[in-house]
């Protein structure tokens, strides 16, 4: 925290944001836990133990504000991003989504037709996961005060076995549910007017139906097959894997050739000097799976349209604790660093 | 909805906002209920019935985004406003607050010292009500994109007898927990540089501890003494009373002389031609109380610092269904209209 004012990196999902959260937010919030997973875990949501509820169950609460610009982008809009994002935060915590909120801040002059389109998209996206949107808030501001609509969605879920991002164990396989970098690259291309001559679109999607069957899988001795989960949004796969390795106290070794990329994403990243591992995804999960169960998990994932390109990309190692190593096809290895921030701002 | 773009009134808590919500949001959200009170009730929050939980209990979920400018105002800042606002939404639903979220959108260049001060204030305000802040989100945007910090807080609560804003019954007394108009007038005076030569400050306060004892009160035949509750924020007392009357299908008769006002608020409203009934409050509740129990309720309220100026201001009538009538000291009557919007924008 070198400067004394907020910079864009403070909200970009990487190392600078972690510092802000640690040095200002966690330090000053004294009462920040209501269950087994609290704010200090910095997971995708936190849990609440409820008196009167069977003690196997915990509620999960999560929130996200979305400041993407423009609000409309190839194939969809901020409404899908917000609803899917919150459903996914609950999903990667292992929680069945129960209800969502919808809080809108909108500048005067915003077209009512676009506003209605966003609301319709939220409804459709929530319907995919069968989640009701039960409460909301609407605020307006002067057009000079804000450049585009901001959506906040909070979500409540319930689980009998929360999945943490810190649960990786040595030997686990690391899976992703599909191609990496689609959202960030498609958004940037759209915004900057690049024409990659492809139909690359955002991957924004609610993953509950895809992930739900995995949560029930148990090993013969009754342990959950899924050991850890995270959605690689801001900061991309690089940030998600680093958080998982650090919190789990293990190493992660990733095989570069195994990571699924759309050709347009690889080409764009090469041309623009971007690392696709640092680019935001909005419809993907990174999953830790007990060794020996990866084929079963893959075959379940691939039955769902959102999991068609699911792949094993690496495994959890006892060495290089807290670090992520990428091995290329020639056996060359490099550390995958925590990004300072997202290379493409305001994509979510 | 005459224009085809968003106007400031669309977020101002009055008639124009109700139209936006009805014609666009309620129409397009198909799945909007998870318990006995859903989005279509447009109450201060909605409820969730939970399988496995004693059926007397429901969860309550609520959300609010805060766009007040400036973020710091006499005595406190947006952090108190946001946390108190969400605690109060749960409180007036009759729900014990269990947990809050905190989602921040902040423009680059915002001073880190001010950011930390806001976080500290959120912590202090939540501590007053004993509520943990368990999860959050941090987003940054360019300084040209947003003029000030935006806070969203969602809240989860639990209740065994939800209080609706639609529960008024003929004969009930109408109470307010203190002086009306303090927040809006103090904010406007501060923002516009008016000097009313007073120490008028925002009333922003978390009301859970004040209201909690009232929720347990029962009549000799076991009915709740509190029949309806609402916090008169945007649109002020005028909007809150109109909503309560319309939803309850009753009339409300208010005695002008009984409404508690600080002299500075009355003077400022007279000078500026504002109706203090339309000005936002951020630490007050409007309460329907079964006739005969109003003295007991008043005496409980007045024991708490936030209820010192509590007063009976009128009663629920069988005639003038859905309308609010104000009677002045000379017996003259007038309708209290639903405000089109808040006369003072961006106060919450």
Average pLDDT over chain A reads 96
Structure tokens of B282? 């951020």
CATH 3.30.1330.10 matches B30-157:
yes
Asked if the Cβ–Cβ distance from B105 to A65 is below 8 Å, we say: yes
Counting Cβ atoms within 10 Å, is residue B272 exposed (0-12), middle (13-18) or buried (19+)? Answer: middle
User: Which one of B58, B142, B154 would you mutate to disrupt binding with A, by most A Cβ within 10 Å of its Cβ?
Assistant: B154
Q: Which three-class secondary structure state does DSSP give residue B198? A: coil
Q: How far apart are CA A200 and CA B69, in angstroms?
A: 40
Chain A residues with beta carbon closer than 8 angstroms to that of B160? none
- The answer to whether A74 and A190 are in contact (CB under 8 A) is yes
Whether B119 contacts chain A with CB within 8 A: yes
Pick among 3.30.450.20, 3.30.1370.100, 1.10.1660.10, 3.90.650.10: CATH of B170-333: 3.90.650.10
**A 120-139 → B contacts, CB under 8 A:** 120, 122-123, 126-127, 130-139
Q: How far apart are CA A76 and CA A61, in angstroms?
A: 26
Q: In this predicted structure, what is the pLDDT of residue B247?
A: 98
Whether A102 contacts chain B with CB within 8 A: yes
- In this prediction, residues A187-196 reach a mean pLDDT of 87
DSSP string for residues in A123-159 = HHHHHHHT--EEEEEEEEE-TTTBSS-EEEEEEEEEE
Structure tokens of B103? 């989602």
Whether B55 contacts chain A with CB within 8 A: no
The pLDDT > 90 percentage for chain A reads: 92
**A 249-308 → B contacts, CB under 8 A:** none
Residue B109, min C-alpha distance to chain A (Å): 5
Residue A1 has pLDDT above 50, yes or no: no
**A 329-348 → B contacts, CB under 8 A:** 345-346
Q: Which of B12, B35, B134 sits opposite A33 (nearest CB)?
A: B134
Asked if the Cβ–Cβ distance from A136 to B63 is below 8 Å, we say: yes
- In this prediction, residues A107-129 reach a mean pLDDT of 98
pTM over 0.95: yes
Residue A51, min C-alpha distance to chain B (Å): 9
What percent of the residues of chain B are helix, what percent strand, and what percent coil, each to the nearest 5?
Answer: 35, 25, 45
Residue A200 has pLDDT above 50, yes or no: yes
Q: How far apart are CA B345 and CA A335, in angstroms?
A: 51
Residue B1 has pLDDT above 50, yes or no: no
Q: Where are the domains of chain B?
A: 1-29, 30-157, 170-333
Q: How far apart are CA B121 and CA B118, in angstroms?
A: 5
- The answer to whether B86 and B100 are in contact (CB under 8 A) is yes
pLDDT tens-digit series, residues B314-323: 999 999 999 9
Asked if the Cβ–Cβ distance from A134 to B33 is below 8 Å, we say: yes
What is the residue whose two structure tokens read 């801001």? A234
Q: Provide the β-strand partners of residue A230.
A: A286
Chain A residues with beta carbon closer than 8 angstroms to that of B104? 65
**B 82-101 → A contacts, CB under 8 A:** 98-99, 101
pLDDT tens-digit series, residues A289-305: 999 999 999 999 999 99
pLDDT tens-digit series, residues A19-75: 999 999 999 999 999 999 999 999 999 999 999 888 899 999 999 999 999 999 988
Average pLDDT over chain B reads 96
**Angular region, B52: left φ>0, alpha ψ -120 to 50, beta rest:** left
User: Which one of B46, B88, B111, B152 would you mutate to disrupt binding with A, by most A Cβ within 10 Å of its Cβ?
Assistant: B152
pLDDT tens-digit series, residues B255-308: 999 999 999 999 999 999 999 999 999 999 999 999 999 999 999 999 999 999
Tell me the pLDDT band of A256, cut-offs 50, 70 and 90: very high
Residue B180, min C-alpha distance to chain A (Å): 22
Q: In this predicted structure, what is the pLDDT of residue A343?
A: 86
pLDDT tens-digit series, residues B119-131: 999 999 999 999 9
- In this prediction, residues B132-136 reach a mean pLDDT of 98
Which contiguous run of DSSP H or E holds residue A44? Answer: none
Q: In this predicted structure, what is the pLDDT of residue B194?
A: 84
Whether A41 contacts chain B with CB within 8 A: no
Q: How far apart are CA B255 and CA B334, in angstroms?
A: 11
Q: How far apart are CA A81 and CA A288, in angstroms?
A: 24
Chain B residues with beta carbon closer than 8 angstroms to that of A115? 6, 24
Q: In this predicted structure, what is the pLDDT of residue B52?
A: 87
What is the residue whose two structure tokens read 């919500």? B21
């Amino acid at each position: 925290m070198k400067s004394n004012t907020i910079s864009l990196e403070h909200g970009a999902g990487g190392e600078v944001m972690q510092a802000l959260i640690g040095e200002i937010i966690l330090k000053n919030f004294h009462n920040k836990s209501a269950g087994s997973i609290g704010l200090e875990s910095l997971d995708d949501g936190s849990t609440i133990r409820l008196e009167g509820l069977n003690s196997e169950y915990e509620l999960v609460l999560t929130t996200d504000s979305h400041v993407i610009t423009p609000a409309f982008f190839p194939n969809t809009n901020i409404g899908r991003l917000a609803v899917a994002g919150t459903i996914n935060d609950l999903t990667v915590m292992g929680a069945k989504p129960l209800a969502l909120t919808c809080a809108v801040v909108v500048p005067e002059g915003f077209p009512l037709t676009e506003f209605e389109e966003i609301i319709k998209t939220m409804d459709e996206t929530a319907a995919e996961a069968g989640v009701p949107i039960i409460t909301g808030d609407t605020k307006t501001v002067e057009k000079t005060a804000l450049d585009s609509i901001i959506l906040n969605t909070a979500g409540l879920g319930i689980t009998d076995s929360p999945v943490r991002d810190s649960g990786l164990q040595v030997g686990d396989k690391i899976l992703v549910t599909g191609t990496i970098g689609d959202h960030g690259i498609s958004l940037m291309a759209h915004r900057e007017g690049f024409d990659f001559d492809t139909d690359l679109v955002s991957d924004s999607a609610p993953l509950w139906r895809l992930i739900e069957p995995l949560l029930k899988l148990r090993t013969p001795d009754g342990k959950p097959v899924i050991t850890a989960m995270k959605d690689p949004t801001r900061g991309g796969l690089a940030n998600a894997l680093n958080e998982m390795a650090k919190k789990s106290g293990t190493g992660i070794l990733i095989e570069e050739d195994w990571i699924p990329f759309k050709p347009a994403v690889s080409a764009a990243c090469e041309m623009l000097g971007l690392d696709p591992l640092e680019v935001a995804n909005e419809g993907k999960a990174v999953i830790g799976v007990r060794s020996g169960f990866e084929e079963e998990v893959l075959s379940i994932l691939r039955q769902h349209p959102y999991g068609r390109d699911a792949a094993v990309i690496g495994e959890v190692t006892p060495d290089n604790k807290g670090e992520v190593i990428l091995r290329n096809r020639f056996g060359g290895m490099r550390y995958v660093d925590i990004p300072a921030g997202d290379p493409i701002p305001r994509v979510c």
